Amino acid sequence: MLPLLVALAIAAAPGPAPVAKPKLIVLDLAAVGGVDPQVAGALSEAVSAEVARTGYFQVLASKDVQTLLGLERQKQLLGCSEDAQSCFTELAGALGARFVMAGSVAKLGDAYQLSLQVLDSRTAQPVGRTTRLGKDLKELRHAIPYAVADAAGTPSPAPPSRVLPLALASGGGAVVIAGALFGLDGLARERETNRELELADTGGAALKPASYYRDAAAASALEKTVALGALVAGAALVATGVFLFQQGGDTGGGVALVPTGNGMALVGVWR
């Protein structure tokens, strides 16, 4: 009976309390360099959603801050430009949050730049900061998970798998080689048949039955048709693999050369 009572007591004992996630305020991104405020607002929502998705923080977006503090109070806390860190610290303290994420999105010629910084309100020191470039908004959107991880000091997302693109490219290359060999065999058969017919016309060789040459011509035509189809299919597989490989980077497109106001710039991430 005693062991049973002990077991029941252990089962009824409360488990360890779950560790509370630290609060992180995600402020709206500042629109710089002619960026449409609606674009900055959409990217701000994407940043907030990404921070929440990682699960490391209890996220308070700008709309939540307005609800909790009121718009006027938020303007007061963010209205000082002399010492932005002290403003962020005061804002975090007012909401009981330890961390504040702020940043901007800027347009550099045809490219876009996303800058993020996370401040620890207890130490008034930045946790991390990052700057990401994209040749367009789609590429910049793909960079948000990596920018959030760099700024917040959390693990970066796992890189996308290269298995499928490499399999498609290598398989397509094998199909192209097989098609080329098949086509060469068909051409060789056709040349051999034509050579026999030419020699027969000059009296240098005896002709085989007509059915033999009909079958040889049909086999040669079939081989060339199959070879052409294999070359087209293999090239399509290679092109698809290369396309997927280029699209699989952490900014969605690797490195590109784009025009800027001062000339040209490389944007993206080397992989």
Distance (Å, rounded) from C-alpha 118 to C-alpha 131?
A: 12
Q: Tell which wins on pLDDT, 132 or 216.
A: 132
Q: Which CATH class is domain 20-152?
A: alpha beta
Q: Considering the entire predicted model, what is its pTM?
A: 0.55
Q: How far apart are CA 248 and CA 161, in angstroms?
A: 8
Contact 147, 153 (CB under 8 A): no
- Residue 248: CA count within 13 A, CB half-sphere: 16
Q: What is the pLDDT of residues 55-105, one digit of tens each?
A: 889 888 877 776 666 655 655 555 554 455 666 676 666 677 888 898 999
Name residue 223's amino acid: E
Q: How much is the pLDDT for 125?
A: 84
d(CA 109, CA 31): 15
